[in-house]
């Protein structure tokens, strides 16, 4: 099953999971290999995080992947071909609330280096 979105990305279904792009599906397959090699564990696809400020839910953030690295760090990844202003804001709000950096995978990753949050 393949359909296109406004950014011309084609949806892809693997293992019954719908991915928004071929790049996202490819990253999923890479993570499965890393998981089978024991490099990552507790892989979650499209986990959902509520964005709540002062007791009021203002939205949610649904990154593409969450897993635990060999060092025990929680890793959040989002595959992006185009980074919209809305996505940029949602990622920064997520990082401010959860204090977990988001790794952007894709050709525009260099544009979002400022998304890395220093955790005190």
Per-residue pLDDT of 58-99, as tens digits, reads 999 999 999 999 999 999 999 988 888 898 899 999 999 999
- Condensed to tens digits (0 to 9), the pLDDT of residues 108-118 reads 555 544 445 44
Instruction: Delineate the domains of the chain, giving CATH numbers in brackets.
Output: 12-115 (3.40.1350)
Residue 85 host element (H or E): helix 85-98
Residue 24 host element (H or E): helix 22-36
- Condensed to tens digits (0 to 9), the pLDDT of residues 33-49 reads 999 999 999 999 999 99
Of the pLDDT bands very low, low, confident and very high (cuts 50, 70, 90), residue 9 is: confident
Distances (CA, A) of 44 to 17, 30, 48, 75: 11, 14, 10, 10
């Amino acid at each position: 099953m393949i359909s296109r979105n406004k950014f011309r990305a084609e949806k892809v279904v693997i293992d019954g999971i719908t991915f928004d792009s071929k790049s996202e599906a490819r990253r999923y397959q890479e993570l499965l290999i890393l998981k089978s090699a024991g490099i990552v564990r507790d892989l979650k696809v499209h986990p959902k995080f509520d964005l709540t400020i002062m007791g009021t839910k203002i939205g949610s953030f649904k990154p593409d992947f969450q897993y635990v690295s060999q060092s025990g760090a929680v890793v959040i990844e989002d595959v992006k071909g185009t980074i919209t202003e809305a996505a940029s804001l949602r990622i920064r709000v997520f990082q401010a609330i959860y204090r977990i950096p988001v790794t952007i995978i894709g050709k525009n990753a260099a544009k979002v280096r400022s998304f890395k949050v220093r955790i005190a």
